[in-house]
Structure 1
Amino acid sequence: MKHRVALVAAAAAGLLTTGAFVAVSTASAATTGCSATYTVVSQWQGGFQGGVSFTNLGDPLSSWKLEFTFPDAAQKVTQGWNATWSQSGSAVTAVNMSWNNSVPTNGSVSVGFIGSWGSSNASPSSFKVNGVTCTGSTTTTPPTTPPTTTPTTPPTTAPTTPPTTPPAGGAAPALRVSGNKIVTAAGTPYRLLGVNRSSAEFACVQGKTGVFDGPDPDQSTVDAMKAWHIHAVRIPINEQCWLGTYGTPSGSAYQTAVKNYANLLVANGINPIIDLHWTYGSYSGGGNGNCTDVNATCQKPMPDAQYAPQLWTSVATTFKGNNAVLFDLFNEPWPDNADGYASAANEWKCWRDGGTCGGITYQVAGMQSLVNAVRGAGATNVILLGGLAWSNDLTQWLTYKPTDSAGNLVAAWHVYNFNSCSNTSCWDSQIAPVAAQVPVVAGEIGQNSCAHDFIDQVMAWADAHNVGYLAWTWNPWGCSGGNVLIQSYDGTPTDSYGSGFKAHLLTVNP
């Protein structure tokens, strides 16, 4: 059974809000204490995602160890984050990482995990931090040895403890690829977790007012995202509107609006992903409904050779030197469907090399040519490349991976409940082998209902496999068609889909 919102544990009803910390000194009195919350973010048959958050109410800590015991012997932690996890029998231990070892007074830490369960999944009823049972109150311990001298002049102000970590906020990190992880400039692993902000792909060609539907993105709309702990925003764009060959606004006005939004996100600690969504090229085949317009008014099976390389040269020139911005070279390739699934080898060659492709009447720009366009402009930004079947198929992504002089390629994956690869068995066999070699980011996740049971499974699997994900979509379009996260741009979540995704982000994103 899926839980729609996080469950908070306390003794009588499986819900809990208590905690305590330890800080030891032999020369002065020590104050200990904390509050803590245990959550079940989502649950399914035999598995669940849980987390513990605690706030230090006592003296600053230089390290911490969290301990609790599951009520049932079948309950296990199978994968965790934000701590080093271990389990012996029913006893679970989470020890700080090097980057979150210090906890100042009133500072908080959140840790999360994927777990399994048997006949029941009751919540733990007691916690310890650094060996002290959590009580929800503070205790002051006298010094073990009295001071040998007394200051002759008391301090005029109370001493303060400087923060051990930078304050919240700051610019988004520059990112690069290292092995199968995206990392910061310092080499710290960094998962892209966030949302899509749709409309720049269609507003300019559908007679809307402005580049984005609704209000132009501003600080208040970004603050609403920050309240969800969103760390990445994918911005779909329109090829012709960017280049100024079609649409209103287009050209420099369109480019400035997209650039300003990306820069605003970076300034607020959020990594933008510029995504080429709608492109030029007349296509009359099957696979995407009525998409015969030669202009960029719909979603084509592959990028076109006429404009797409030019587009990416321009975008790369705009953002080169700012590696907090990432590039998603083409939203959802589907040359396989256009070709009638005649030859997987030919369809993957089309994906990489472009040219004349089965079922597509215009000349195709392959992914290699678009990578070359970005690098030829002097940009070393991380590049995302979606696979076949509307980016749901990564089975031969590694075989046909383009060459990249910067070594900064990421496999982009889209997964909805109606896709062919939409269960953990398929993800284990098709996506996990890719994620073992290169970073994988699910640039779109969603489900065609207002619930969140399917994306709960996606996120649990992705969390366990170091895969990033961005939900579709941060637009208040009504939830009747599913995949809509918010009721308004102030960040009010939709009742189930948005609320469930927000609750999960607050658990996994610091």
Structure 2
Amino acid sequence: MRHPPRSVLAAVAGAVALIGSVTVPVVTASGAAPACSVEYSVTSQWGSGFQGAVKITNNTAAMSSWSLAFDFAGGQKLTQGWNATWSQSGTTVTAANESYNGSLATGASVSAGFIASWSGSNAVPTSFRLNGTSCNTAVEPSPTPEPTDPAEDGPPVLRASGNKLVDAGGATRRLLGVNRSGGEFMCVQGRGIFDGPVDDASVKAIAGWKANTVRIPLNEECWLGLSTIDPAYAGANYINAVKDLVAKVKAHGMTPVVELHWTYGQYTGNSAGCSDVHASCQKPMPDMQYTPSFWASVANTFKNDRTVVFDLFNEPYPDRATSTTTQAWQCWRDGGNCPGIGYEVAGMQDLVDSVRGTGATNLILAGGIAYSNDLSQWLTYKPADPAGNLAAAWHVYNFNTCANESCWNSTLAPVAAQVPLVAGEIGENTCAHGFIDQVMKWFDDRGLSYLGWTWNTWDCSSGPSLISSYDGTPTAFGTGLRDHLRALNG
């Protein structure tokens, strides 16, 4: 959502940690160290699949290439992997070096990861062979059962399963809640980190609406601590403030969604929000210079807490810069030098890769083009996700193009039939709720998710605002969402 003018703004761990690996030393009768050691870990596990990792340490002479072999003992089937060339023949799995990580000096280590299916048991391999030489093994237990009752254990760990979001027990879940704007603009304007209070009382007020999700927009320059941002509102100070808000959201049983809203890169073309190269407005696409680093940092920060959801980029609009819709969708997925955009673009695939490259398996949301209002070719250009944990994001306001049931039936329903669909922002600038009532009914009828914009005390006609006070007093617009959530969730 584009924001009210600055003058208006001025006036107005139930988490499951990834299981660590413990190397079990294997020594000979004479006490000699093993030729190599392998740490094997199951970093996450769900109904019929799991993500695993191996860390190989070479204790002998330097190698110019390597190949690790081990045997699955529980009928597991390899589906994909990274940082190695993975293959499986029968029960034997082989991971051979890539061109960039073949050299393995004495004492050096290399890590690689994979996704596999399992049924019955997920037994840990008992022997590993590096270039034919036996290594020691690291044996660890299966992952601790994940929390499923947010009232008792905090928010659930969510996963895309077909076209549903499910928890660890396989129960269908919906993200129903609000946006908490501020973290995307206050810092870059030198006025703080959040707009209004984010203390426990204000977060508790959100939970009082029976919301189960809070989306938190962020600014990449503030998170990365670039020199243009006041240090008081940047880098570690900014990150710690975000982590603190995430913890408060979780403490009240709600799912935190961290989302990249404002980014770097100068764009002065059609529908430009500003002429500034810095992250001071919504840009048509994220930038390659900083956004992959932003997501790698965010993912590393939260990868051990899979209750946190990642929303890659607020409202892409490459369609306003390119001459064809095909070009826009290609830019959206692949990035690069996109027509009409003067900076190198990071596509959705780049951002998925940045997150997954850290080992994070958190649920990812990816919004379409036309300010996330157009999902007509989302399935065609869907990014590849090695963790298989990707959902579509969509935004709608009464003034958008796709703002009627005919459009929803033709463009949203096919997406929702294949992947989870989350309306990351719903709202209207009428200071009423007649439009979002229609949206919520359409989504309710299909068991889909939606979040109202926004939990801030703005003039609702300048930027749809749900509240007039941070104690949860609703505007006329907010009353519609509040009463509906309370009716749904009791």
TM over 0.5: yes
Match status 1:303 vs 2:286 = yes
Superposed CA deviations along residues 16-48 of structure 1, whole A, max 9, x for unmatched, are: xxxxxxxxxxxxxxxxxxxxxxxxxxxxxxxxx
Give the superposition deviation at 1:219.
1.3
Question: What is the TM-score of this pair, normalised by structure 2?
Answer: 0.68
Alignment of 1:85-164 (within 5 A): none
CA apart distance, 1:279 = 0.1
Matched ranges for 1:18-417 at <5 A: 168-208=151-191, 210-215=192-197, 217-245=198-226, 246-248=228-230, 249-289=233-273, 291-339=274-322, 342-417=323-398
Q: Deviations over 1:154-188 (max 9, x none)?
A: xxxxxxxxxxx979454111111100001111111
Amino acid corresponding to residue 451 of structure 1 in structure 2: A
Question: How large is the Cα RMSD of the aligned pairs?
Answer: 1.3
Q: Which residue of 2 aligns with 1:35?
A: none
Tell me if structure 1 keeps the 8 A contact 2:149–2:156: no
Name the CA distance, whole Å, in 1 between partners of 2:486 and 2:283.
35
- Deviation string, structure 1 residues 194-251 (Cα, Å, up to 9, x no partner): 000001000001121x210222x12111110111001001100001000001323100
Residue 505 of structure 1 corresponds to which residue in structure 2?
Answer: 485
Residues 396-453 of structure 1, C-alpha deviations (whole Å, 9 max, x = no match) = 0000001111101000000111110000011001001100000000000001110000
Displacement of 1:480: 3.6
1:166/1:251 Cα in 2 relative to 1: closer, same or farther (>3 Å)?
closer
Within 2, Cα distance between the matches of 1:193 and 1:226?
11
Whether 1:472 and 2:453 are equivalent positions in the alignment is yes
Distance 2:251 2:317 in 1: 35
For 1:131-158, what per-residue CA distance to the aligned partner results, in whole angstroms no more than 9, with x for missing partners? xxxxxxxxxxxxxxxxxxxxxxxxxxxx
Find the aligned partners of 2:459 and 2:371 in 1 and give their Cα distance: 24
Shift of 1:288: 3.2
Q: Within 1, Cα distance between the matches of 2:430 and 2:346? A: 35
Q: Paired residue for 2:25?
A: none
CA distance 1:395–1:457, shift in 2 (3 Å): same
Displacement of 1:267 = 2.1
SS at match of 1:205: coil
**Which one-letter code corresponds to 1:503 in the other structure?**
D
Query: Is this contact kept in 2: 1:170–1:268, CA < 8 A?
Result: no
Aligned to 1:442, the other structure's residue is in SS state: strand
Between the aligned partners of 1:350 and 1:167, the Cα distance in structure 2 is 39
Call closer, same or farther: CA 1:397–1:251 in 2, change over 3 Å: same
CA contact (8 A) 1:193 1:509 kept: no
Q: Is the 8 A contact 2:429 2:460 kept in 1?
A: no
Residue 481 of structure 1 and its aligned partner are, at CA, apart by 2.6
Percent same amino acid among aligned pairs?
61
Corresponding residue for residue 71 of structure 2: none
Q: Which runs of 5+ in 1 are unaligned?
A: 1-164
Report the secondary structure of 2:172's partner residue: coil
What is the aligned partner in structure 1 of residue 21 from structure 2? none
Partner Cα distance (2:489, 2:407) in 1: 26
**Matched residue SS, 1:310:** helix
**CA distance in 2: counterparts of 1:278 and 1:166, whole angstroms:** 34
Other-structure match for 1:457:
438
Q: Residue 431 of structure 1 is aligned with which of 409, 412, 433?
A: 412
Letter in 1 for 2:290: Y
Distance of 1:507 and 1:288 partners within structure 2: 40
Task: Report if the CA contact (8 A) 1:244-1:251 is conserved.
Answer: yes
Partner of 1:481: 462
- The 1-side partners of 2:315 and 2:439 are apart by 19
- In the alignment, which residue of structure 2 is the partner of 1:137? none
- Looking at structure 2, the residues matched to 169 and 218 of structure 1 have their Cα atoms a distance apart, in angstroms, of 21
Supply the distance in 1 between the matched residues of 2:242 and 2:320 (Cα, whole angstroms).
31
Structure showing greater radius of gyration is: 1
Q: What displacement does 1:268 show? A: 1.6
How many equivalent pairs are there? 340
Residue identity matched to 1:240: E
C-alpha separation in 2, matches of 1:480 and 1:182: 33
Deviations 1:297-347, CA, capped at 9 Å, x for gaps: 0110000000000000000000002111000000000000112xx222121
Q: Given residue 486 of structure 2, which amino acid in structure 1 is its aligned partner?
A: L
Q: 1:214 to 1:440 in 2, by over 3 A?
A: same
Alignment gaps of 5+ in structure 2: 1-147
TM-score, normalised to structure 1, is 0.65
CA contact (8 A) 2:222 2:234 kept: yes
Q: Which amino acid aligns with 1:211?
A: I
SS at match of 1:365: coil
The aligned residue for residue 28 of structure 2 is none
